[in-house]
Amino acid sequence: MDIHQLIWSLSRISSSINEERITAEKYLKWAESVPGFSLTLFQVLTKSDEEIPAHTKHAASVIFKQTIVREWDETGGDDHVIRITPQERKYIKENIALLTVKSSVLQRDQLGVCIRKIGDRDYPEEWPEILPQIMSFITSEQRDLLIPGALYILRNLCKIYHYRTPESGRRDSINQIVDATFQFLFVIFTNLVNLNTTSAAEMLVLICKIFVSVTQHGLPPKLMDTNALVPWMTAFLTLLMKQVPLEQQPTDPELIAKWPWWKAKKWVGKLLTELFNRYSSKFFEEDEKSTVFGPQFMAVFSSQLTLNFLNLLVRDYKIMPDHTNHVCINFLNATIRISSTYKLLQPHLNSFLTEIIFPLLCFSAADEECWREDPHEFLRKEFELIEDYNNAKRTATSFIVDLFNVRAKANLNPFMAFLIGVLNRYLSAPPHEKSPQQKDGALLAIGSIANKLMRLSEYKKSLDDMLAVHVFPEFQSPHGYLRAKACWVFSQFSVVEFKNPGIFNSSVEMVLRLMRDSELPVRVQAALTVRCLMLLDTVEEKIEKILPQILEEFFNIMNEIDNDDLVAALEMIIDKYQEHIPPFAVNLCDRLAQAFLRVAADEDDDTSSLTALEYIKTIHTVLLSISKMPHIFPQIEVVLYPMLIQTLKSEYLDYFEEIVRTMTFITYYAPTISPSMWTLFPMIYDAFNEYATDFMSNILVVLDNYISRGTEQFLAPGTNYLEMVFNMYKKLMEDDQLSSVDAGEACKLIEVVFHHCRGSPRVDVLVQPLIELAVRRIPSSDKKVFTVLLLEVVANALYYNPVLALNALEQTGSTPLVFTTWFNRVFTDFKRCHDMKVSILGLSSIYLVPFESLPPTIKGGFSQIFSGIMKLIVKVSQQRAEEEKKKEAESEEEEEEENLEEIGDEEDVKDEEETLQSLVDKVREFEPTDFDELVDDEDEEYSSSIDLVHEHLFFIEAFQAAAQREAAVYQQLLGSVSDEDKGLFHVLLDQAPHVRAKHEVNVAKLKPHTD
């Protein structure tokens, strides 16, 4: 490969001259398929900056990374060309470490990804030299120059093991890394922590990250000793408490958060928190050694850790960025549940809450600037879950919620007195002395612990007065954030009983009015508050009267901002007022569909997919509200059709499941399946073949509707819908790489065809290949449920046309296999009523075939089939009766009231992990021995044409018809069976009239599936 041509192309890949850029792109596209490409790129990266400009080397590093990530796992691509030869791999592995330590930071970021990719596949067996190379850099005479790069390589090598559990069998290598490097890392760390340079902080961050990765699933053996861990913990605490060189700190707030010294504090705080959480919790006791080590760790380190984190916050919380405060508060939150550490913290809690936590809760200058300059960004920060990880205000809020949930006795009253004092001072102060920021913080604190306050009688009785005096007046505050906060607090206390209903009613009116506020965040919060208020009986009628206006305001707000909470609130309103939605249904669906398409098209917004999903779910709520009004669905279809046809494309894969569900609603509830909806059938088929094979369980439901409610069109001459269904079935059954769950969906699909297309010549010709594909999988099936579904293909084929089905079995020589397997499984593995019913109908259909036409295997087992059918009838009857009793019993159960208890100071709080473990243990008590048992329950209401057929009556009628047709044969059959079977047959005969009468009543209740 011509290295000069490659360098030219790399230098022009971002050219502003179109011709140069297009030529470069074409060359690079061609070059990537040529052996030697990756090695030539590597050689470009080894050139000095004097030889090749930095931007060209950066382009080379990016493309090199992409090539390694794409090709390193492959021994040959789709065209079976080995793009990175063994010789190239060897050269790259031998030299990438040295290249990395000598590279710029920009290139190093790309090479780090390469190291992880190569290491994930090759280390240690096929890349043993990397660790000695790292050690050679660390111990070199030029180590001051090489250590930053060496630490970066080691960080990326260790990151491979960050998410590998001990069960993966691949964590032994991490212990080798620790044994080889940690004594040197400790020396480097202790030297660096005494320096004040930015580069020292950057290297400390790398060492902390290395430590986090190697200890993610427990300390390695080398450190599983408090004596060995003490030096490290001392060094970590030194870094945690270090006075950072503030004179070097940037002035830009965004750069402050990225300043290496604060990042070092964040990472050391994170690793100390993870160690504390692991060894203070029984849930993380990985083995017997950890069980012993945990108490030792807590005895030696817990007190030091608690006091150091507390002292750091007291000293520096005002100057630390959000992410560092978040980590520190998060640690102290963990100490609350441990009695020994809580006792250390408790004497300081009053001042900690009022002097540190409360200021963090208050509306800050940064909040105010964001509210004013970019309200959309303000709302994003308020609602995005990802913000929790670095948001000190949210962490502070979680701290007070957790504290008062488990340690309220000694802490709640003093803090509430402080908050009420803040509110009273605001109330009495002249306007120019009021602090709206502090009032916002007090309201946030009170609203966050609303559930606790409403359960305590001493506060419960005065909450309405508190709201009337301190909250409701802020609906008219000149400060928008206080108007919004008042709405939010009202939503938190919406169930409080008011002594003066007039105050409550006027406050509801104010919230409704604020949906038209001049400031967007206020309008959004008011709309979300309506969601809570509408659940109250006293508000329901008020909202009902102005429902059209409320719906309109919701859409006005949603036109300004895409927010999944807002859409979920609209969905709740529609669900609550279902009876009043039909007049607005078409318009609602039209606007929701347009909103969905707008949001789903925004690929750059990470939250857009959640909001888009909420729009579709809201459409589903509208469709459910009109499910008993089929005449509206043709109009609904018109407005939703553009969305459906647009989204059945691969770029909308994230929404495929919900889009198909939308089609399911329309094809089920509409009076008929329209020509427009039939045009979507081939699109579903194409989607299945291209990208949606894994969604067969969703596709099955809508195809069921097409087949069962549009049978005539499905089988119409000149259409190929049946062939599409057969091809889907064939693909799922023939591909052994697909799971048995996917193939099982294919069996269910063909069941729909057999049930609804009886007598179709087009289906007749497919009976044999359908049976052959199913029977082929029976011997290799190791899942009970899948075996049952395979046998049901045969049972349904017999019910569809017993002559064709038996002929197909005989021609493939599989009759003995099928019936032997069937009767070995039918009384143990056929657990659903539906499974047993299908077996009864299939086996009973044999009586429709003249005896002389039956295969020898069937003739020989005629009496066994007769006996088996009757036993299944009895079993399914008993199971239905038991299920009815179970439903009646469940409906009579009453919910138990929650018993709230205060945790004593001497007790450890049962943390979430331990609670989770107890639930896991309980589940294991009932854990089935086979995964199949988890999916055997009759957990769905199955709708089919066989609902109109009662298996008991079908058997009796088929047998009686056969007995009349061939009296001698069936007389001989009855004479050959046991007295028990004879008696059971007469019982079934006697019960038939009663069964028929009851069945006719049940059939009358079924929704007719007709066009």
pLDDT along the chain (1011 residues), means of 10: 90 91 93 90 92 92 94 63 84 96 92 95 94 94 91 96 77 88 96 96 97 90 89 97 96 92 97 93 56 86 96 95 95 94 95 96 94 93 68 93 94 96 96 95 97 93 95 96 97 92 93 95 96 88 90 90 88 89 92 91 71 91 92 95 91 91 96 96 95 93 95 95 96 87 93 94 96 94 92 96 96 93 91 93 95 91 92 93 80 44 60 46 40 41 74 94 92 89 92 92 66 37
Calpha distance 460→778 (Å, rounded): 65
3-class secondary structure, 583: helix
pLDDT score recorded for residue 933? 40
- Cβ–Cβ contacts within 10 Å for residue 946, how many? 20
- DSSP summary character for residue 916: H
Q: CB under 8 Å to 812, separation ≥6 — which residues?
A: 768, 771, 772, 775
The answer to whether 364 and 437 are in contact (CB under 8 A) is yes
List phi, psi (to 5°) of 937: -65, 150
- Cβ–Cβ contacts within 10 Å for residue 89, how many? 21
Residue type, 603: E
Calpha distance 146→139 (Å, rounded): 9
The answer to whether 351 and 411 are in contact (CB under 8 A) is no
CA-only gyration radius of the chain, Å? 35
Sign of the CA dihedral running 789, 791, 793, 795: negative
The answer to whether 7 and 56 are in contact (CB under 8 A) is yes
Q: Which residue has the tokens 């406050």?
A: 507
Closest CA to 260 of 189, 317, 328, 201: 201
> Secondary structure of 709-752 in the HEC alphabet?
HCHHHHCCCCCCHHHHHHHHHHHHHHCCCCCHHHHHHHHHHHHH
- DSSP summary character for residue 902: P
pLDDT score recorded for residue 663? 96
Query: What pTM was estimated for this model as a whole?
Result: 0.77
List phi, psi (to 5°) of 571: -60, -40
Between the CA of residue 474 and those of 16, 489, 518, what are the distances in Å? 55, 11, 15
Calpha distance 782→780 (Å, rounded): 6
Between the CA of residue 960 and those of 844, 875, 966, 970, what are the distances in Å? 11, 22, 10, 9
pLDDT score recorded for residue 1? 74
3-class secondary structure, 559: helix
Q: Which residue has the tokens 């295997």?
A: 857
- The structure tokens listed for 116 are 């992880």
Calpha distance 469→462 (Å, rounded): 11
Q: Which residue has the tokens 């006075």?
A: 243
Closest CA to 216 of 255, 160, 146, 133: 160
pLDDT score recorded for residue 888? 74
For residue 431, say if its preceding peptide bond is cis, omega within 30 degrees of 0: no
List phi, psi (to 5°) of 710: -130, 40
Calpha distance 383→380 (Å, rounded): 5
Cα–Cα–Cα angle for 32, 38, 42, rounded to 5 degrees: 140
Q: CB under 8 Å to 50, separation ≥6 — which residues?
A: none
Closest CA to 577 of 620, 610, 543: 543
Greatest alpha-carbon pair distance for the chain in Å reads: 108
The answer to whether 873 and 952 are in contact (CB under 8 A) is yes
536: buried, middle or exposed (CB in 10 Å: 19+, 13-18, 0-12)?
Answer: middle
pLDDT score recorded for residue 959? 94
Cα–Cα–Cα angle for 911, 913, 916, rounded to 5 degrees: 110
- Cβ–Cβ contacts within 10 Å for residue 843, how many? 26
pLDDT score recorded for residue 49? 84
User: What residue spans of 407-432 are helical by DSSP H?
Assistant: 412-428
- DSSP summary character for residue 471: I
Q: CB under 8 Å to 182, separation ≥6 — which residues?
A: 222, 223
Q: Dihedral angle at the C-alpha atoms of 52, 58, 60, 65, nearest 10 degrees?
A: 150
Calpha distance 18→891 (Å, rounded): 71
Closest CA to 842 of 902, 790, 892: 790
Residue type, 239: L
